[in-house]
């Protein structure tokens, strides 16, 4: 028996037990939104409002969905109909009804690496200059258009200027290749899922199957996800969404916090409940964060109240340079390394921190690096499996042929005997690939790097054992990479280094936010545009509200960045924090000035090309922690 009143605060209880129509829960950082969602699902089932199998819970990570599903089962002993990501739901929908939109059931999902490789090939085929028409830029433009529910024909008609017309040509050929390969990318999953729900028969079946819809992190939805929401509900008003305007930091991949406002237009009887009691941070940390976010005028802002103590003042530090800044970070740590996180705006900033930690013998984990499913040997093995499932997957065939004609011919011979793979388990098929392609013959068991690759293949075998069906296995592999976070536990007794984007949804006892210089955070590309500047401010708010007990903010008077030493000025965000909340320490060491290359002091030089993430140092890398690739935005 659940004691609803004792287990929830007043506003949480109001949200959980609301039963008069559509509900919007504005949940501030650390306010217990996951608890509200799980208890609301449990309440709906417990009160007989809906059968468990008629509930669909949409999230942005399978980890979050899994945790909520498990919690609901603990509360009421029943399993809900669907709990997973938007992409996973649409993939499931396409397996059932994909032929209605021209897609075979054995379709494959191209990840971002596959997509980039295909676009790069097409750019060359069309004779375009890759230096001018960068594949990453083309990917972003096509992805944004798809998230706006535009097709290639729509985009071609709207294209203005030489570059957009080139992108339209690339997209047209890209679509042709995808159809030939019976393949989709992540953006297609959403777009085609929406198209299916727009078919009356399919939409009616889904609405009959799911009578209650709950959605987490709604500020992160794009236009396609908003459309999917309204199609699933069908104006019944059986909808609960949770979100926070102030934590919307993904506009660069199509997310639009204004979808929260659109719901109010869609549903005249939409009830709004605000969760403003914070169970994570101290009041001083919350007040400092509010001092920053309160300068945004484009969206509503929650003013959070801490359930815990007042806490220490926020410490700010002015360093001479990035080396002194890193030294300050290390000196403030007391040896319990698992409780610390160091957050920064761009991937390149980790270099000085890593070097200092290695010298000081401080154990750390760098979030990022090459993810498991993007390692070459894993991509190679997956290519074999993908053509077993879908023989017209031309991108995978090209990868196989690059491994050598002898191996390709050997594999083709074996493939004739297992066409479709329907009679064999995923594990048996993977074993067959390894035995009949000659793939593992190229690895030297006396070479440490090759041994590590063989261990990775063995790990893939362990995952394959969990899936009897090959298509389900390949779908899972692809969807894992579309998520923002994985299930790895960070508190392993080491310091966590990560970008602010990667830290979304996490919390740490003590947090350092470094590199708070004008032009770096906020980034130089965002300063002149009001909406982009407000997103940078929301990013700062997210960074600050990761801290539970102590928050440190630092900046450097000079910073070596992209090979040049620049003079910097403190970020405007620091001046937005009330002085009464801060304890400020300044370096007494005069900044070094290179008389021959003195830089202007009004911010960093704009970097025109996206850089790759820093290489892992010391082997201390979380390979899969952030499987959604933030490099494009975090490497500006």
pLDDT digits over 323-379, tens only? 999 999 999 998 899 999 999 998 888 888 999 999 999 999 988 766 778 888 999
**Active-site residue, from 339, 345, 371, 546:** 546
Active site residue 453: no
Distance of alpha carbon 558 from alpha carbon 20, whole angstroms: 58
Q: Is 406 among the residues known to form the active site? A: no
Which residues lie below 8 Å from residue 299, measured CB to CB, with a gap of 6+? 245, 246, 248, 257, 534
> 368 versus 396: which is more confidently predicted?
396
> Which 3 state secondary structure label does DSSP give 51?
coil
The model's pLDDT over 55-105, given as tens digits with 9 standing for 90+, comes to: 999 999 888 899 999 999 999 999 999 999 999 999 999 999 999 999 988
Q: Is the pLDDT of residue 430 over 50?
A: yes
Using the predicted structure, report yes or no on whether residue 619 has a pLDDT greater than 50.
no
29 is in an annotated binding site: yes
Does 624 have pLDDT greater than 50?
Answer: no
Q: Which among 111, 112, 187, 217 is annotated as catalytic?
A: 217
pLDDT at residue 393 in the model: 92
Note the pLDDT of residue 486: 43
The lowest-confidence range among 171-175, 312-316, 376-380 is 376-380
Spacing of C-alpha 105 from chain mean position: 27
Catalytic residue among 11, 12, 33, 559: 33
What is the per-residue pLDDT for 487? 41
Ramachandran bin of 361, using left for φ above 0, alpha for ψ from -120 to 50, beta for the remaining angles: left
**Residue showing tokens 């549903």:** 267
pLDDT for residue 530: 94
Mean of per-residue pLDDT scores for the chain: 87
At 255 the pLDDT is 92
Mean pLDDT of 381-400: 92
Give the C-alpha distances (Å, rounded to integers) separating 445 from 426, 431, 448, 450, 459. 25, 18, 7, 6, 17
> Do the beta carbons of residue 50 and residue 19 sit within 8 Å?
no
Please state the rounded mean pLDDT for residues 268-286: 97
List pLDDT tens digits, range 23-45: 999 999 999 999 999 999 999 99
Residue 237 DSSP one-character state: -
235, pLDDT greater than 60:
yes
31 labeled binding residue: yes
Query: In the structure, what pLDDT confidence band is assigned to residue 561 with cuts at 50, 70 and 90?
Result: low
Count H helices, E strands: the chain?
Answer: 26, 20
pLDDT of residue 375: 84
Residue 421 pLDDT grade (very low, low, confident, very high; cuts 50, 70, 90): low
Least-confidence region, from 264-273, 308-317, 583-592: 583-592
Q: Does the annotation list 499 as a binding residue? A: no
Reported as a single tens digit per residue, the pLDDT across 478-524 is 887 666 444 445 557 899 999 999 999 999 999 999 999 999 999 98
Helix spans in 481-612 (H): 500-503, 530-544, 572-575
Query: What does the pLDDT read at residue 597?
Result: 37
Catalytic residue among 12, 61, 247, 282: 247
Q: Which domains does the chain have, with CATH numbers?
A: 8-94+188-274 (3.40.50.300), 107-180 (1.10.10.160), 287-362+490-584 (3.40.50.300), 372-479 (1.10.486.10)
pLDDT at position 142 over 90:
yes
341 is an annotated ligand-binding site residue: no
Residue the block writes with tokens 């798809």:
146
For residue 588, the model assigns a pLDDT of 66
Residue from 14, 34, 51, 391 carrying the catalytic annotation:
34
Catalytic residue (one of 187, 216, 220, 380): 216
Is residue 33 annotated as a catalytic residue, yes or no? Answer: yes
pLDDT of residue 551: 98
pLDDT on residue 536: 97
Q: Which of 355, 302, 360, 308 is nearest to 330 (CA)?
A: 360
What integer pLDDT is reported at residue 348 of this predicted model?
A: 81
Instruction: Check if 216 is active-site.
Output: yes
Query: Are the beta carbons of 184 and 262 closer than 8 angstroms?
Result: no
What integer pLDDT is reported at residue 154 of this predicted model? 92
Residue 46 is a catalytic residue: no
Counting residues of the chain whose pLDDT is more than 70, the rounded percentage is 89
Average pLDDT over residues 246-252: 93
Give the confidence band of 454 by pLDDT, cuts at 50, 70, 90: confident
pTM as predicted:
0.85
Three-state SS sequence of 561-599: ECCEEEECCECHHHHCCCHHHEEEEECCCCCCCCCCCCC
At 449, is the pLDDT very low, low, confident or very high (cuts 50, 70, 90)? Answer: confident
Q: What is the mean pLDDT of residues 225-242?
A: 96
pLDDT of residue 599: 40
Residue 438 has a pLDDT of 84
Q: Which residue has the higher pLDDT, 455 or 389?
A: 389
Contact status, residue 168 vs residue 159, Cβ threshold 8 Å: yes
Residues 97 and 92: their CA atoms lie apart, in Å, by 9
- Is 34 designated active site? yes
């Amino acid at each position: 028996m659940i004691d609803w009143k004792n287990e929830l605060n007043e506003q949480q209880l109001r949200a959980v037990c609301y039963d008069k129509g559509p509900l919007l829960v504005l949940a501030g950082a650390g306010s217990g939104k996951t608890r509200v969602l799980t208890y609301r699902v449990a309440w709906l089932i417990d009160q007989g409002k809906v059968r468990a199998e008629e509930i669909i819970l949409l999230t942005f990570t399978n980890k979050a969905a899994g945790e909520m599903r498990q919690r609901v089962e603990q509360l009421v002993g029943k399993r809900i109909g669907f709990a997973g990501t938007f992409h996973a739901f649409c993939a499931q929908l396409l397996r059932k009804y994909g032929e209605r939109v021209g897609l075979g059931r054995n379709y494959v999902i191209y990840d971002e690496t596959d997509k980039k490789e295909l676009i790069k090939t097409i750019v060359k085929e069309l004779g375009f200059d890759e230096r001018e028409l960068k594949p990453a830029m083309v990917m972003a433009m096509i992805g944004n258009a798809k998230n706006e529910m535009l097709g290639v024909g729509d985009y071609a008609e709207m294209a203005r200027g030489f570059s957009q017309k080139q992108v339209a040509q690339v997209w047209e050929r890209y679509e042709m290749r995808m159809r030939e390969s019976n393949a989709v990318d992540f953006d297609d999953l959403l777009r085609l899922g929406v198209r299916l729900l727009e078919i009356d028969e399919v939409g009616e079946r889904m609405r009959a199957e799911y009578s209650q819809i709950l959605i987490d992190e709604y500020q992160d939805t794009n236009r396609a996800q908003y459309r999917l929401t309204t199609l699933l509900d069908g104006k019944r008003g059986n909808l609960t969404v949770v979100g926070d305007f102030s934590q919307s930091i993904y506009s660069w991949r199509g997310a639009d916090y204004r979808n929260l406002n659109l719901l109010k237009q869609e549903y005249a009887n939409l009830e709004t409940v605000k969760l403003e009691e914070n169970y994570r941070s101290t009041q001083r940390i919350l007040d400092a964060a509010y001092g920053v976010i309160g300068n945004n005028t484009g969206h509503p802002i929650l003013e959070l109240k801490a359930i815990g103590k007042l806490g220490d003042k926020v410490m700010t530090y002015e360093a001479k340079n990035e080396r002194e800044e890193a030294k300050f970070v290390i000196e403030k740590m007391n040896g319990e390394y698992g409780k610390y996180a160091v957050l920064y705006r761009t991937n390149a900033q980790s270099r000085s921190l890593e070097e200092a930690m290695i010298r000081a013998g401080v154990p750390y984990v760098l979030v990022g690096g090459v993810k498991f499913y993007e390692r070459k040997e894993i991509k190679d093995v997956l290519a074999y499996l993908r053509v077993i499932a879908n023989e017209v997957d031309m991108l995978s065939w090209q990868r196989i042929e690059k491994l050598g004609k002898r191996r390709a011919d050997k594999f083709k011979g074996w493939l004739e005997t297992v066409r479709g793979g329907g009679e064999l388990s995923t594990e048996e098929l993977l074993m067959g690939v390894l035995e009949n392609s000659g793939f593992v013959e190229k690895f030297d068991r006396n070479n440490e790097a090759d041994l590590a690759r063989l261990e990775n293949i063995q790990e893939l075998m362990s995952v394959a054992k969990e899936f009897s069906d090959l298509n389900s296995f390949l779908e899972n592999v692809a969807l894992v990479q579309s998520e923002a976070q994985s299930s790895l536990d960070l508190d392993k007794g080491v310091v966590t280094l990560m970008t602010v984007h990667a830290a979304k949804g996490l919390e740490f006892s003590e947090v350092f936010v470094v590199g708070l210089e004008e032009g770096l955070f906020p980034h130089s590309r965002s300063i002149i545009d009001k909406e982009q500047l407000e997103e940078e401010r929301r990013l700062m708010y997210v960074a600050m509200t990761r801290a539970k007990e102590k928050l440190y903010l630092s900046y450097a008077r000079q910073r070596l960045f992209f090979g040049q030493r620049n003079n910097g000025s403190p970020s405007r965000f620091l001046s937005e924090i009330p002085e009464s909340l801060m304890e400020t320490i300044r370096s007494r060491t005069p900044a070094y000035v290179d008389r021959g290359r003195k830089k202007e002091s009004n911010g960093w030089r704009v970097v025109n090309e996206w850089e790759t993430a820093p290489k892992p140092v010391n082997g201390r890398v979380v390979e899969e922690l952030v499987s959604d690739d933030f490099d494009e935005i975090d490497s500006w």
